[in-house]
Structure 1
Amino acid sequence: LSPDVNHLRVIVAHEIGHIYHNVMLHNDGMDWGKADWTDGSVNLYREGVATYLSKQIMRGLNESVYYSYNNDGERWLQCYIENEEQIKNRFLEDYIEGWTFEKEKEWFRLSGGQYFGYNRLGYFLGTAFVEYVVQALGESEAFIFWNKHNLKSGVIDWLSKGIRL
């Protein structure tokens, strides 16, 4: 972990974002028994909401800090920006083939990074998806999207550019 207090605050804001998101979903009547926690679209969405919220809570930091939690994430961010369409396509391909623990690791864990040389690229995709939903439906609706809409098809539509929420 970085010793920089702002980096640590971003991590805390991210985790508080998960808690806040769960409360919003719960208050909207989310049936947690039906949640498929192992589905790639769920992780993409949940990490996207938490990252989105950390950016709202800890404004004004270098964009890469919200993903890397340190000052070393600029090349990682540039990789995502320069390869966004290929990254989206690869995630979609992995998702359609069937989600596995290996794919989970590639997209959301520190131990991933085989495809593009950088791990946890799913966080970037998730944040971009949530930002899109916020633009389309508003922030409150974005936070309860999982409860109100078919999350899997929403993510697939967004990834494949046939966007219709």
Structure 2
Amino acid sequence: MSVRARLLGIIEEIDQTYSKTFNHDLDIHYTLCVGTFGSNAFVTREIKGDIYFAAEKLSPETNHLKVIVAHEIGHVTHFSFAERQGMNWKSVDWIHGLTSLYIEGAATYLSKKIVPELKESVYFTYDDEGDSWVTCYEIHKKDVKRRFLEDVASGWDMVKEKEWFRLSGGHYFGHNRLGYLLGTDYVERLVEKVGEEVALTFWNGNDMKKDIMNWLED
């Protein structure tokens, strides 16, 4: 079976799992891109129900596909929670590291809930090659948090966004997208502190940036 055919079946399966888990249906539009493409998958922020997958960038293994689909649907689900609370989207500073840290952490948290009990690194690299990546973060966690905090304090820009959240980053510690691990760490601890429902809507009505900064400094 081709990656395309397998992906379509997995999208339907994961979509249904989200609907059953959170008891609501989302209006999501899926686009499968074939040919050279810059990213493996992404959700648009302007239209919060559009998800794009790049066939050539995806692992053909079923669990890997399930996780990346769960991650992207996780973004739409996360946005929908805030939407239901009347979120003012114009107030969101999308191009900021603290926002990226929170939303990527929330999507990863949700992917682990929807597709549980897989090897930890699969939730971040969507393949079986990420053990050294997760190990790097665990060993250097204090240094990673300190460096991220320094980058935020000195002014965020697209160079830093790429370093921490894009495939083209990874110059600081030798592994790209370490911001995803930071974000998941933060969201999991926020869930422990305030509960899942509050944690996943925390950016609506709370000083999310200050809370993350306090966590980074801890």
1:15-164 superposed matches below 5 A: 15-161=72-218
- 1:57-78: CA deviation from partner (whole Å, max 9, x where unpaired): 0001000000010000000010
The unaligned stretches of length 5 or more in structure 1 are none
Select the structure that is richer in helix: 1
Identity %: 53
Query: Normalised by the size of structure 1, how large is the TM-score?
Result: 0.96
* One-letter identity of the residue aligned with 2:170: G
SS of 1:144's partner is coil
- How many residue pairs get matched? 161
The unaligned stretches of length 5 or more in structure 2 are 1-57
- 1:23-50: CA deviation from partner (whole Å, max 9, x where unpaired): 0011111100111111111000000000
Higher RCO (C-alpha 8 Å, min separation 6):
1
Structure 1 runs (4+) deviating above 2 angstroms are none
Query: Normalised by the size of structure 2, how large is the TM-score?
Result: 0.73
Q: What is the rounded CA distance, in whole Å, between the counterparts of 1:39 and 1:102 in structure 2?
A: 11
* One-letter identity of the residue aligned with 1:147: N
Q: What is the rounded CA distance, in whole Å, between the counterparts of 1:87 and 1:156 in structure 2?
A: 13
* One-letter identity of the residue aligned with 1:22: F
- 1:65-119: CA deviation from partner (whole Å, max 9, x where unpaired): 0001000000001000000000000000000000010000000000000000000
Q: What is the rounded CA distance, in whole Å, between the counterparts of 2:205 and 2:139 in structure 1?
A: 33
- Structure possessing the higher radius of gyration over alpha carbons: 2
Q: What is the rounded CA distance, in whole Å, between the counterparts of 2:208 and 2:99 in structure 1?
A: 7
SS of 1:43's partner is helix
